[in-house]
Chain A
Amino acid sequence: MMKKILLFIKSKLFLFGAAGVFIGLLFSLAMYEGLHRTSDDKFCIVCHEMAPMVAAYHNDVHGGAGKTGIKVTCVTCHLPHDNVLAYIATKARNGVVEGAIHFFGNPDAIDWHANRANKEHFVEDEGCIGCHTNYKTNTNISAKGLKMHAHYESLKNTDKKIGCASCHAEVGHHGLKSMLNYYKPEYPYYNGKLDKQKEEVEKKLSETLK
């Protein structure tokens, strides 16, 4: 009996494997979906790999550090992925390894520095425009700013399309590059020399999120 089952599995090994991979992929995507749909900083930091982003967010005018004290929820700028298929397509297009692999793999190995090159794909311009409604006409913005916004508009429906974040680096996360370096230095020279900064950040984070 045992032997028969084993044989059966063996003969259908490929099928079993494929089904396993498929179910795993769906499962992890569903998890990703569910997780990224809920919205605030307290939730997002559940995963420790989000810590530098949340810390830099707290230093930004969008994260409560400005005069107005406004706190924009994470998902206003990072819309949840509308549907699983579109998500897979985007991931494939970005040439980024699929999300599923990250969940089964090692999150500490993610190269967040390099990932910033994909920011056009994970920052939702509609979110920005929802608040900055008159960014094309607001005369309080410098002439250069308005010229650039017209430029943005002129590229919008072309293959050269850019995002708000293409120009507004580190918006939403003030000092993101430095923060990422405190957690994981880009250059070997800094290894072990920025730990004090990281400790301070962690201390402040746990106080803020208490």
Chain B
Amino acid sequence: MRSKKTLFSIGVFLLLSAMSLIGSEAATPSPAKEIPISAEMKEKFPIKAHHAKLSLKCTDCHENQGDNPENFKLIGDEGCLSCHKSKVYLAERLKFMDTLHVNPHNSIHDGPKLYCDECHFEHQKSDNMCLSCHSNDVKLWMRETP
């Protein structure tokens, strides 16, 4: 008698757990429909290691740019800042460099106003606009632009 009761309650418990599992599955929003990206495009537009590590997809950056990856455009500062918050926040992350006035995100000349693509590129090697005038010092002040 007793073991039947136990069996029954275990049964109910399992059923409820299964239901709660199914419930939670349904609650998670399903990601937007994927645009197929050919291997060729992936090779032509490689992604930086710091973003690849997070398995970012093309459309995480190229948002609302249509279904044809050939037609993807630049994403501008706004694209970067949708994840990286704000220029002031980015300047703050390198605050120790302000002590010597060499913070690339808070330039001694322009403040936290420069465009990201004056230094950072996604699909090619990055550059650093400070180099154009301070060709020797920049590599002492900061690492190569990631």
Contact = CB atoms under 8 A, between A and B. Distances in A.
Contact of B83 (A154, A167, A170, A178): A167
B71 interface: no
Interface residues of B, number: 25
A194 interface: yes
Interface of A: 136-137, 142, 144, 146-148, 150-151, 153-155, 160, 162, 166-167, 169-170, 175, 177-178, 181-182, 185-190, 193-194, 197
B6 interface: no
Contacts of B100: 189-190, 193
B99 A193 contact: yes
A1 B99 CA distance: 68
Given A155-B55, A167-B54, A150 B93 contact: no
28 contacts: A136-B28, A137-B27, A142-B82, A146-B29, A147-B31, A148-B83, A150-B28, A150-B29, A150-B31, A151-B60, A153-B28, A162-B53, A162-B54, A167-B83, A170-B93, A175-B93, A175-B95, A177-B93, A178-B93, A178-B94, A185-B96, A187-B140, A187-B141, A189-B140, A190-B100, A194-B96, A194-B99, A197-B96
Contacts of A153: 28
Given A148-B83, A155-B55, A187-B140, A177 B31 contact: no
A200 to B, nearest CB: 11
Contact of A160 (B31, B32, B55): B55
A49 B52 CA distance: 32
Given A146-B29, A151-B31, A160-B55, A187 B142 contact: yes
